[in-house]
Amino acid sequence: MHQALDRMPVEDFPEVGSPNIYVGINWGKVIFDGGDIFGDVVNVASRLVNLAKQRQILLSEDAINQLSSHDQSHVKFVDTEVVKGKFEEIRYYEYIWEQLDQTMIVDKNMDKKAMMYSLELRSKERITLVDQTHPVATFGRQSHNDFVLTNKRVSRTHARIEYRWGKFVLIDQSSNGTFVYDLKDKKRYLKREETVLPVSGYLNFGEEMGKESPETVVFNRK
């Protein structure tokens, strides 16, 4: 569905682009009544839709168990969540669809130079690249993140950066937000929203800490 929308022309407002959708997937038996479906499986799927960001696909553990081993290799653990009516937290995951064989989903007319861009991310502890072959970097307190942050104002799964068509998009998923600074120290604050990153700058997560903080991440497009 995401790929179909990307290919869909928007004739009335071409400058806006195709709409983005939120996807949540669960698997199991449901109750069918009067042309509608009910039950725990539906409630979990609905909750995943509410948790999803634009262009994101979230899945339950039961749904992942139905995937082929190939598709499971594109799944990344996100977090746990309490769902109404269930006694235990559910674990939910993201299907990273935009990193799949980019030659299949990238328009053949796309600027080849843009496809070669990379974003260097640097902290006191780590350096990593986001590019076409490694299209996602994550930030948060939990150990599965690419950049593990210890500040108590940082969420377990706080934010991520995605490579999209030659651009690098920061998506905040946190309670306390993310601060984005460009080279002139011009600041933008994000909370549960996304933005295209400037060419260079730095990030503070959860609170303003300055460029020299051990948990500041500096970014620079190559």
Q: Tell me the CATH number at 72.
A: 3.30.70.1230
Q: Determine contact, residues 200/217, Cβ cutoff 8 Å.
A: no
Same domain, 49 and 132: no
pLDDT tens-place string over residues 156-198? 889 999 988 778 999 998 889 999 999 888 999 999 899 999 9
Q: Is the pTM of this model over 0.75?
A: no
Number of domains forming the structure of the chain: 2
Q: What pLDDT does residue 61 have?
A: 93
What is the domain range of residue 39? 2-98
Q: Are 129 and 121 in contact (CB under 8 A)?
A: yes
What digits encode the pLDDT tens for the residues 188-202? 999 989 999 999 999
Whether 107 and 207 map to the same domain: the answer is: yes
For the chain, report the end-to-end CA distance as a whole number of angstroms. 31
Tell whether 47 and 136 lie within a shared domain: no
Let me know whether 175 and 110 are in one domain.
yes
Note whether 81 and 180 are same-domain residues: no
Please check whether residues 123 and 92 belong to one and the same domain: no
Per-residue pLDDT band at 100 (split at 50, 70, 90): very low
Residue 166 belongs to domain with CATH number: 2.60.200.20
Same domain, 184 and 87: no
Res. 105: pLDDT tops 90: no
Question: Shortest CA distance to 200 belongs to which of 99, 127, 89, 120?
Answer: 120
> What is the reported pLDDT for 12?
57
Its sign, for the CA torsion 37, 51, 66, 40, is negative
- Residue by residue, DSSP assigns the chain as -HHHHHH---SS-TTT-SPP--EEE--S--EEETTEEESHHHHHHHHHHHHPPTT-EEEEHHHHTTS-HHHHTTEEEEEEE--TT-SSPEEEEEE-GGGS-HHHHS-TTS-HHHHT--EEEE-SS-EEEESSSS-EEEEESSTTSSEE---TTS-TT-EEEEEETTEEEEEE-SSS-EEEEETT--EEEESS-EEE--SEEEEEESS---TTSTT-EEEEE-
Q: Quick one: 216 and 113 in the same domain?
A: yes
Residue 108 in this model has a pLDDT that exceeds 90: no
Has residue 127 got a pLDDT over 90?
yes
pLDDT of residue 96: 86
- Tell whether 93 and 113 lie within a shared domain: no
pLDDT, average across residues 56-84 = 88
Q: Please check whether residues 7 and 45 belong to one and the same domain.
A: yes
Q: Could you tell me what percent of the chain has a pLDDT over 70?
A: 86
Residues 118 and 203 in one domain: yes
Residue 110, pLDDT score: 46
- Quick one: 138 and 80 in the same domain? no
Q: How high is the pLDDT of residue 30?
A: 93
pLDDT reading at 18 higher than 80: no
Pick the last residue of a domain from 58, 83, 98: 98
